[in-house]
Structure 1
Amino acid sequence: MRSVLYISLICFALPCLAQSLPAKHAAKALAGQGVLEQALKQASAQQLRVVQGKILLSGKNPALSGGFVALERHELEHNVFAALPVPRLENMKLGIVAPTAKQKEIIFTKYADLAEKTRAFKAEIDGLLYYQSRPSERRELSVQEKQYWLEKISALSRELNILSLSVEETDPVFMRIKKYLRYALSVVAPEMEGAFLDLFPTDSRTDRVLKVEEFYLHDPTANRFELWRNFFKKENPTQLVPKGLKIAVLNDRQSFLWAIEESYQEKLLFKGHYVKTYAHAANLLDDMRVGRETFDVILSDLHVPGGGGYHVVQTLRARGYKGVIIAASAYPELTYMAQALYKRGFDGMFAIPEIFELNPHWYDRLNQGLRNYFYYRHTNGWMR
């Protein structure tokens, strides 16, 4: 009787066990192969085709498929399914030289805040990114939806742009945020991919059109009519420089600062103006912030402790500074360099070699460059 009871129990349990096995195997498969594998298996084989490693809708040209986003394993796994790294102060890669403890604290606060905002944005949009990558689920986004997501991507992108001035682009958190925003953009608005996230913050100007020779403060090349006109108007670069300018020179090379101070004292450099030198960007910014000093013109090296020229120009333009900021660097005169600096808010650049101050009459280049800037500003009607 007992054996009959055991047999009955076994017969009763087998169907239940059989029903539970597929679920257990499915769970193991899901864990072992990843969610993406399951998504691929659910799509009909007739709907998919592989072209150069990308899975596309069968029979459709990707260029004509309404912005179809290719379903790529690594894109989903590294963007949608992967969490953003947690920002840590000790792991943050700063892009400024010898920052103060206060600067580190301020930068990290912005750094962590951007990571948190991106994490919240990711939680909101990940579902859309996943389903838009599935051929069977993909749909055309409305104009209103695109606008909604683009505004969010744009806002985060602007914060990333500003952060790039003080954090290295090789920083792990920075790289992941940048990559994720680009991926989200490629899904939401593929037509804008590659032309949206510009890591050079734009200092928008309507009063000036960039000309490379003017940006590098070359001597004016006026035609005969302009020369005669300027002669009768008594307009020449020397007369157009305002009197009594206050000029700051920021450079971490002490020999250069000594040469500036010595030549200024001997009235060979910037005669008739006030000149003060700085070796650290934080000191210059602090003096201007609290009103200890006001400057009409700032000559700044691009790489200086406390932030350098990039940090200085971004900080001062954000404060509403309308004065002249001219870069002084050993970089050669390149068109893209002029465009990048101009976008960031610089007004010009002295491309001067290392140990420039050892050249005979080196100060003439700076004097003439300053005159050229004010000549161009007057002639072209520049006004910030």
Structure 2
Amino acid sequence: MNYSRVLRATNILLILTGYQLHWFDRKTRRFEVSLIAVVNVFVLGCLYAACFAQHFRPSSILKVLHDVSPFLYGLTRLQLMLGLKVFAYAIYSSVRAVVGVNSLVESFPADGRALSKAESVAYGLLGSTLSVLFGFSVFIAYKMDFKLPLLQEAMIGMALFLPHLALAGSVRLYCILAWLSCVRLKQLKREAEEEFSTNLKRDEADTASTSFSISQPSVSPSNSDTLELKRRQLELLTNRFNFFFRDMQSSLIFLCILNANCLLCGAYSYVNYTNSWHLLFEERKQRIFYAANASIYACIGCDYICLLLVQVMMEKERLGFLQKLELILAQRSSLPASIHSLAKGMKEILLNTFQTKFFSLWPFKVTHFVVVSPHSGKNNLYYSFKLEFHSLFSCFCFSVLL
């Protein structure tokens, strides 16, 4: 598997979406600040500022939305103000996480040349959501006869979409590095199992060759040193992944909050559209609405399916590694003391250090409230408490699933 190839592809995608300010150098295998990435984020920031300003200018679509459903208009304004903070936080999150990312990348072995199954899965995780989005976009463009919408309407939509696109990079970065860590964990399990098996076979051969005396199992220094190296590599991998996980945790939770409000907007608009609003539109525009509404659920669902997939695979590999170690430790009489100690040490690392679950309860902090609470309109207090309720509920569901 070529780790650098996967990381470079991930890096290019995250730069294009405005999440990363760094460029991955294949020689040093580190993410370094790049002028091109900084300029790209600056351009996206200027574009976002121009789109954001369209929500505060006279607009027919916003006026119709306000007249038809003041509640949906309030949710849209809430999404806009939350997106402003999220866009800024995405840049901060990227800069903060790069230390943990570089540390974790150092735990990966040398690159292979051939395209492996694990590398193909990594590319699938990387491009799954964007492929779904591209498919819906092509369908909507076809229904619109490939005609561009009004510039102001397009900018109003982009102001709501760009923050989600940027912060969603945290999911893709986490999924890719979690999957690469899972592949590395599987490799360490296989190598450690081979070393333990070799030692057990050697001990059985020594016992069979001794017919008149009972000798204690022996272990060669090279075998013991190899297992000690594997234990250290496992410890480094788990510690560095935990460090990276802590850096990414807040980004994933904030994205969950943004998605919760987005899903609420989609569900509320769908119910109203099917009940009454569809009478105002022709059949072609109805299909456009249904496709656009479905794309919200499909893209968000695809993100979290990928996230759950890597979580399940990592937990599966961890439990599989633990089962192998327990089987080895059960043969205590056949193991030298040093080998038994190394197996026990690996087991403790997997039990106590390697954690991948999110906090069951999100600890309240003033900075969290400042980020998620909106500051617009005369009903600011009502919408603040409403968003806090949906945020806490989303985080609870998110932590239960993961």
Q: Structure 2 length as normaliser, TM-score?
A: 0.28
Rg: which structure is higher?
1
Higher strand residue share: 1
Higher helix residue share: 2
Give the structure, 1 or 2, with the largest relative contact order (CA under 8 Å, sep 6 or more).
Answer: 2
